[in-house]
Amino acid sequence: MIPLKRAFDENRRLVIPAAAGLALNALLYAIVVYPLDVRVHNTELREQAAERELAAAQRDEQAARALLQGRERTDAALKSFYTDILPNNLASANRIGYLRVAQLAQQHHLRSSHYSAEPEPNPQGLVRRLRISTVLEGDYQNVRRFIYQLESGTDFIVIDSVTLNQGGEAASPLQLTLLLSTFYRSDHGA
């Protein structure tokens, strides 16, 4: 083996420039390249964070647009409900309630023995309730069909209470007592 000092002395012209070049490379790396590498890495991290924030902002924007569209659809449906479905006044609500009950009773071969309607006392707001009470008589199948048709109809009539009684004899008709509600707009407090 060649001693290291002798090899260094014989190749000093090559070793010193190589060592100086290596030292210069290490110095340039520490002073120039490493800080640039750190800056590039930090820039990439900021870019990734900005992309995540942009994606989150786009999702928020889509959610806000969907919410706005949903609200617009709801407002349109509510406006349609108030103008197309809900009666304009107490007389219209009473007429709709009476006509619907009478038509369905006749259609299902039920006999009406009582009908009364009165507005809700102490109403608040623009939508008022009309309470309807009616008594009908007929067989079970017709009563069932009547109730189904009333519930599934397009008129805004709500069944609040159902009472079903039968007379003392087995062949006597069933007596159906219904408490109903319908609603109407009251723009003038009437």
* Number of residues written out for the chain: 190
**Which pLDDT tens digit goes with each residue over 120-151?**
887 777 888 999 999 999 998 999 999 999 99
**Which pLDDT tens digit goes with each residue over 97-125?**
899 999 999 999 999 989 999 998 877 77
DSSP state letter for 183: E
Q: Please give the pLDDT value at position 46.
A: 95
**Which pLDDT tens digit goes with each residue over 5-60?**
777 777 778 878 888 889 898 888 888 889 989 999 999 999 999 999 999 999 99
Q: Please give the pLDDT value at position 190.
A: 44
34, 80, 91 from 75: Cα distances, Å: 61, 8, 26
pLDDT of residue 65 exceeding 60, the answer is yes
Res. 187 pLDDT band, cuts 50 70 90: low
Tokens of 13: 């012209």
**3 state SS of 12:** helix
On the CB side of 40, how many CA atoms lie within 13 Å of its CA? Answer: 6
Tokens of 83: 């103008």
String of DSSP letters for 26-54:
HHHIIIIIHHHHHHHHHHHHHHHHHHHHH
DSSP state letter for 81: I
End-to-end CA distance of the chain: 118
- Of 55, 112, 81, 110, the residue nearest 185 (C-alpha): 81
